[in-house]
Structure 1
């Protein structure tokens, strides 16, 4: 009898098991499964807000009041310093702060999204993206509360007269910002969980970007000064957050807008999602061990 007859045929059970934990398929499945658990992250985000303002009479509207007071103080001061009419500058500052609060919170809280949910990650069998959606939905709720200031402002300063059908561009612009908030939280959340120095670095960088982003000042005021001041406008355009701010603020206050802001934001969105999917593919399975 030949030796080949004595050897059993290889079966599927004998073949090596290849893990697919580091594949794009598993990463995309995590995003789909997390979105499918929307009842969970919708309720968790709402509970976050209720817990933060527990026993408060007006609840999350304290954020609205704080934003309104901050915008009024900055608007009055810088309108005088820059010699800009208050009824023109205050809406500019107010909408800028409302949008900036959402952007900065997505960066700062996104970098700690997995660290802050350590207990749930270790105990609750759910997709990691649940915590990302929870964070972004919470920021959308805060944004909706702050829109009360915007509604009051457009009637108090007559901004509604400048609004046209092109102002509806603010809706897809908000959608783009939300889409970017998701990849930012995924990318920074994963790496800040592994390297804890990233969160304080992002905190300092965000503060610097706030100063460099035209919120308390306008590019038009620099251009009007001419000389070196006008050259600094080009430096402002290197800041990517300037373009994110412009695509939503300009239509909300009835200003003209240039298409290149949208092109830049779309390019960053594609690149950012590419990096986020790479990080999700390679490190998603390690996050529970890092927290």
Structure 2
């Protein structure tokens, strides 16, 4: 008995669920697909909050307690140390605090997000932008809850203006683009070097005191080493980008240039690293 093989017959292309093209992965394409199909990362972020507070009597209302105590109690205390009007200082400190917490939550979770989603990745779900967006969306829910608290402090301020909140439509998207790009970079670095998560957590402990949140930038002598360190701090410029216009404070030329460079450089860096190293993540973890 003989068998003949038709070499001209069409062959079916078999693609594994988690396969990637040999040349690397496009970050923009993965972001586009993640935004088109947000079910995983958006629902997972909400589920994280529900499961965290489901056994408590107040439930998700606990999301409002820490920012309320920080803004009003700590804000009132530090306003006396700074010899400032409490109703002027609380919006300044409160907005700085909620933005700082937003930054720390995204960066801290992103640096360990690949390891925490190892089961999903090994099962073939290799669109890694889903995991970074999960970190970003969960932190955004906390931010929105805290923003409601801070809005009360703004309403009590004698210099309150609705136009200040309108500036969020311009500054917040820039803030989010930078934060997401940095999250992608640290997610890849954290997959390769697991100590990245502990390192970022340690840095943020000291970073809170070294960033103008409890104090004003004007308190630092111009040209001093502390002023140079403050201006080199990316968190300061990202916070000031959002907080400054809300309070009617003009942005300095240094902050404008710094944020402009970051907004261009960070997405480019994230895209290059993602294309080059994303396919190695299943091996690293």
Q: TM-score, normalised by structure 1?
A: 0.83
Root mean square deviation, CA, Å: 2.3
Change (3 A) 1:140 1:123: same
The 2-side partners of 1:221 and 1:87 are apart by 19
The CA deviation string for residues 71-101 of structure 1, in whole angstroms up to 9 with x for no partner, is 3333233222222221221111111111111
Which segment drifts farther, 77-86 or 138-147?
77-86
The 2-side partners of 1:108 and 1:60 are apart by 22
* Residues 35 and 133 in structure 1, CA contact (< 8 A), matched pair in contact too: no
Aligned to 1:21: 22
Could you list the runs of 5+ residues in structure 2 that have no partner in the other structure?
Answer: 1-10, 12-19
The 2-side partners of 1:145 and 1:104 are apart by 16
1:280 and 2:274 correspond: yes
The 2-side partners of 1:120 and 1:39 are apart by 15
Aligned to 2:5: none
Count the aligned residue pairs: 267
Alignment of 1:97-176 (within 5 A): 97-123=97-123, 125=125, 127-160=127-160, 163=161, 165=163, 167-176=165-174
* Residues 102 and 139 in structure 1, CA contact (< 8 A), matched pair in contact too: yes
Could you list the runs of 5+ residues in structure 1 that have no partner in the other structure?
Answer: 1-12, 14-18
Q: TM-score, normalised by structure 2?
A: 0.85
The CA deviation string for residues 165-224 of structure 1, in whole angstroms up to 9 with x for no partner, is 46522222111121112111111011111111111111111222211110010012345x
Change (3 A) 1:27 1:79: closer
* Residues 82 and 221 in structure 1, CA contact (< 8 A), matched pair in contact too: no
Which segment drifts farther, 27-36 or 43-52?
27-36
**Higher relative helix content:** 1
* Residues 122 and 282 in structure 2, CA contact (< 8 A), matched pair in contact too: yes
- Return the match for 1:237 from 228, 231, 238: 231
Alignment of 1:1-291 (within 5 A): 20-23=21-24, 26-123=26-123, 125=125, 127-160=127-160, 163=161, 165=163, 167-222=165-220, 232-291=226-285
The 2-side partners of 1:128 and 1:240 are apart by 25
